Amino acid sequence: MDMQISRQQAVGGASGHLTIDLGALRDNYLTLAAMAPASRTAAVVKADAYGLGADIVSQTLFEAGCRDFFVAHINEALALRLRLSAEARIFVLNGLQPGNETCCAAMAITPILNSLEQIAQWSDHARKLGKTLSAAVQIDTGMCRLGLSPEELEILSAKPQLLDGIDTAFVMSHLACADEPDHASNAAQLAVMRKAATAFPDTLVCFSNSGGIFLGNDYHNALLRPGIALYGGAPSAAGPNPMKPVVRLDLAVIQTRTVPAGSLVGYGGSFTASGPTRLATIAAGYADGLPRSLSNRGAAWYNGVRLPIAGRVSMDSIILDISALPEGTLTQGSLVQMIGPDQTLEDIAEDAGTIAYEILTGLGRRYRRSYIQPGMSPTTDSISAFDK
């Protein structure tokens, strides 16, 4: 990912720069779509497009050909509906909460019905309106999170009139272990999904998340539903990541100092300098999505040199051991790389004992953001542009 940004100085005093490559995002979408040309490819843009900005991410994907978008909550769907063309279908993964029926129907939002209770809500509302309303029906194929249980599916199969007034766009489920290709749950869930789909003989199937797409043709069905892979995250724990990186995070140095041997560093003094140690404090912490669990484990990078975190991650700052760099290399305003060519989302997640999803969605709004349009130089938000 060629960002073409200065990493020498933080422009305008920004504490950090989060650069989002929309060209890489588009390319990732097209790569995933090409893996199953007979299927439609949707995009999961819940949680503000995994923290990267649902408005601009969804518009970029719409321009790339995406017409199906998945969010988690009705408020996300309503905000997205105002931004996207009427051609776009917007699905709400958590389905209906009581009282959401009216706005959902009025704004042409498609709920995913996860229980007989939600099916009854939507069917009753369709009856009140005197019209047919679109929905998807989710089956729990083994994750025990959302979807009709085997008992509920049996009831629905025996009483198809429960779906009166509902145009079932898709029957769907979610793979729990798709990022582990050899996990037995994948084949087990596929078998359950195939059997469940027989209760909906004229309905299309939506089954594959990011990892599921890489499990092969058996998992593809009518609609693919990638999320993390769009944003550059690894869709599988097996092998190298085939997706292009979408985000880069560079953080500003606030202060540097040299401390003598025996100095206690950070809250609780959890790091002790073994000798004279040069330190740099950088302007981001756990309030910016860099977990406290990175304390004394994680690192930032500068020109290919790893700079370990010394002591605990604070709310707004992190201390780095920069002794490996020549003295004077970093000064106030210098930028160090937290996510980029030297350190991926997965690398940080491993150091933090978490997953890439949590790192990505937690990055927050305190960084200045720069969006690189497909085929264009960096453009930034309303604050200012990067130095070239």
267 catalytic residue (yes or no): yes
Q: What angle do CA 123, 125, 126 make, to 5 degrees?
A: 65
Q: What's the CA gap between 6 and 252, in Å, rounded?
A: 12
Catalytic-role residue among 29, 46, 50, 231: 46
CA dihedral 227, 52, 26, 385 (to 10 degrees): -170
How far is CA 209 from its chain centroid?
12
- What are 93's two structure tokens? 């993964």
367 catalytic residue (yes or no): no
Q: What's the CA gap between 325 and 277, in Å, rounded?
A: 11
In three-state secondary structure terms, 92 is: strand
Bridge partners of 264? 272
Catalytic-role residue among 219, 231, 267, 371: 267
Cβ partners under 8 Å of residue 193, min gap 6: 139, 141, 173, 205, 207
Cβ partners under 8 Å of residue 273, min gap 6: 259, 260, 261, 262, 263, 265, 310
In three-state secondary structure terms, 73 is: coil
Q: What's the CA gap between 155 and 80, in Å, rounded?
A: 34
Catalytic residue list: 46, 267
